[in-house]
Structure 1
């Protein structure tokens, strides 16, 4: 797993559709539910007539962590839920997640650090489970 800048990622030698199912299960294991799902490929095809690789954005939420973050900063909802991208990348599938500690740097609210650290640990564990 790689953690770089605003995201963390893992590259898997598995088909896209199988990976999507595994991502959902790994997120659930860490207490995240998928609230939203955006099929970017289908949207680009329908709205623009453009073709691209399979690309899905999952909006993942861990309710206890979201509740704690909202208790510190009501505006944090602009940065929620945690986006997780699953996309085909050649013969592999790439899974990327937004680095939750970005909440702290974007808002300047140090009180969010414990929540962001816990969310990051849970997302890192979910991504690590995919690679196992």
Structure 2
């Protein structure tokens, strides 16, 4: 199993890629609960420069509710992190990646999470595929 679901977006406008990712997630029932600007944080806290890099904490409430109903500890793996980052080798490429929710089934060894994780993976794949290299 792959750790991530990913695609590339050809654009020079990083914020546009972030916004398109938010919209694609929303179309699949995910809201963005948190946003971490790694570039700004590392610059402010460590004085280090890096390419554009954001972490979006995405949550589909009905799927999260189902998962927490199976195992309360699943909150340790929520929300689903979606990374939007500029390819350091190509300024006109942005990579969008999400952890494959089916990994949580492997982490917990809880078979009742399988259908929830499969649905979450399907929705995340659809969101990320909608962004695909255009």
Q: Shared fold by TM > 0.5?
A: yes
**Counterpart in the other structure of 1:110:** 111
Question: In 1, Cα distance between the equivalents of 2:17 and 2:43?
Answer: 22
Q: Deviations over 1:82-130 (max 9, x none)?
A: 0000001122000000100011000000100000000000000001111
Q: Deviations over 1:19-77 (max 9, x none)?
A: 10100000000000000000000010000000000000000000000000000000000
| Residues matched between the structures, number | 129
Q: Give the deviation of 1:17 after TM superposition.
A: 1.2
Normalization by structure 2: what TM-score?
0.94
Q: Which runs of 4+ in 1 moved over 3 A?
A: none
Question: In 2, Cα distance between the equivalents of 1:76 and 1:118?
Answer: 16
- Aligned-residue Cα RMSD (Å) equals 1.0
Secondary structure at the aligned position of 1:126 is classed as helix
Which aligned pairs between 1:30-69 and structure 2 lie closer than 5 A? 30-69=28-67
